[in-house]
Structure 1
Amino acid sequence: MKRARVIHQGRVQHASEQGGRLLLQDGTLVGETDVTWLPPVAPPADRPRTILALGLNYADHAKELEFKAPEEPLVFLKGETALNGHRQRTRRPAGVNFMHYECELTIVVGRTARKVKRDDAYDFIAGYTVANDYAIRDYLENWYRPNLRVKNRDGATPLGPWLVDAKDIPNPMALDLRTTVNGKVTQCGNTRDMIFDVPFLIEYFSAFMTLQPGDLILTGTPDGVVDCKPGDVVVTEIEGLGALMNTIE
């Protein structure tokens, strides 16, 4: 099932996809442009959400950036205010020279996970969604010490449009990824090319920290990133998960 969170007539509602439209929890059937889209995963009521993000998790992207592929996951944390919704806007700060998208498969944790073995990893996943983890290259110190301003900025990580149940994605390690800017294809890849795959990441993180329901793991992007200008419409799409639209302002 494809699930979403939206605002309709001033009320936050859960929704599901039905024939290309949105079936709201109150039974109303509306179009995609009739609502304001929120990130598809509700904030945990009792704690901050942990958002883990991978850098250089595709060998071709590391090569594109003229950097050696990591031998251990390169990970950074994000705050929840960085999240944004489908069809929303992300600000490009004045004066920057290079701001690029990153189309990323995102894992949504479904069960408390501690010391999970690789073979059991999928049992702890609720579903998957699409992230566009914008980065400002100007602020980068180096790939092992990314400045917070590179990625952890308010509204700079659109997420969605859907949360797709894990059972509906039998093999998350064989999904095509694609990004378009103003309708032109600028990035293509497949999740099979990850250096550290989904089961590895669940095992790796849960070995030293507890993952909780609703936590997110952004798994990195393939090569093909380009600079995005104000007014550009960026669509990051992953097979089976949907197309996430965002506009630069």
Structure 2
Amino acid sequence: MRLVRFGEVGAEKPGLIDDEFRLRDLSGEIDDLAGEALSRAGLAKIRALDPKSLPKTDPNQRLGPPVGGTRNFIAVGLNYADHARETGAEPPEEPVLFSKATSSIAGPRDEIVIPHGSTQLDWEVEVAVVIGERCFQVSEAEALDHVAGFTLCHDVSERNWQKERGGQWLKGKSAPGFGPLGPWLVTTDALSDPGRLDLWLDVNGRRMQAGSTADMIFDFRTIVSYVSQFMALEPGDVVTTGTPAGVGAGMKPPVFLKDGDIVTLGSEHLGEQRQMVSAQSR
């Protein structure tokens, strides 16, 4: 299934994209794509519905992040060897974890506003897992049983804040709009091999990143299990799993986003995002 949330910021409704790519309204069946609705039982209830029985709705409405109620937004750094090399780092022996503020979560087509003081705004296309069942200290074998599905994440990063402001990546990863998710939450049963998803990102029509989840150092099972050794992941939590090479900071000379830039990113099975970059008005 391809599940979405649509509507104005803070008032999103749950929806479904049917096989003909029509937007269907799920709000008569569930309150939100959050909590219990993301569990195995909750998704089975949605899966049992006839999509044609659901009301069609305006496809031009804003799409919000395809998951609600997120308490933890966890990210994995340096999880593609080519990206580690372009940053000058050695591939890690264990997953490198950091947090993004949940207030950074945005819709897939929402504007990216350059915060005051930002000088090195960078891009990162990633695949994120959305947790459907509470998991704490789960094994790799059972890790994906706790995952509701997969979605695109744009891990927008302010490199100066990330690297030069005390070594805490959270600072460069958490401004409002720095975590676009979507357009869809693709449930695990709809992906035959999430370990081979293509990824790409363009800036102003120029291809900057092209990769595959097959190149991840730590796969999805490993990551979910690993994170769960240190914290309990709850339904609606998001774990974004790293980016391939091609970020602006890795170019010679470095290239960063500026006012008026258009970023598009996507994957064949996970859809596409598009964001305009805008300077913050005073």
TM-score by length of 1: 0.90
2:272 to 222, 243, 246: 243
* Residue 20 (1) aligns with residue 46 (2): no
CA distance in 1 between partners of 2:22 and 2:114 (Å): 31
CA gap 1:203/1:142 in 2 versus in 1, 3 angstroms: farther
2:22 touches 2:56 (CA, 8 Å); kept in 1?
A: no
Query: 1:233 is matched with which residue?
Result: 262
Give the Å deviation of 1:96.
Answer: 3.6
Give the equivalent residue in structure 2 for 1:43. Answer: 69
Distance 2:13 2:122 in 1: 31
Corresponding position of 1:223: 245
SS at match of 1:189: strand
**3-state SS, counterpart of residue 182 of structure 2:** strand
Q: Which has the higher helix share?
A: 2
Kindly indicate whether residue 82 of structure 2 is the aligned counterpart of residue 60 of structure 1. yes
Q: CA RMSD in A?
A: 2.0
**In the superposition, relative to structure 1, how do residues 94 and 51 fare at CA in structure 2: closer, same or farther (>3 Å)?**
closer
Say if 1:52 and 1:77, in contact at 8 Å, map to a contact too: yes
Q: How many positions carry a matched residue from both structures?
A: 242
Secondary structure of 2:224's partner? Answer: helix
In 1, are the aligned partners of 2:81 and 2:216 still within 8 Å (CA)? Answer: yes
TM-score for the superposition, normalised by structure 2: 0.80
Residue pairs, 1:22-171, within 5 angstroms: 22-25=23-26, 27-31=55-59, 34-43=60-69, 49-94=71-116, 96-141=118-163, 145-171=167-193
8 A Cα contact 1:74 1:144, kept in partner: no
Q: Larger C-alpha radius of gyration, 1 or 2? A: 2
Q: Is the 8 A contact 1:233 1:248 kept in 2?
A: yes
Distance (whole Å) between structure 1 residues aligned to residue 180 and residue 17 of structure 2: 19
> What SS does structure 2 have at the residue aligned with 1:236?
strand
- The answer for unaligned runs of 5 or more in structure 1 is none
- One-letter code aligned to 1:241: L
The 2-side partners of 1:191 and 1:4 are apart by 23
The aligned amino acid for 1:43 is G
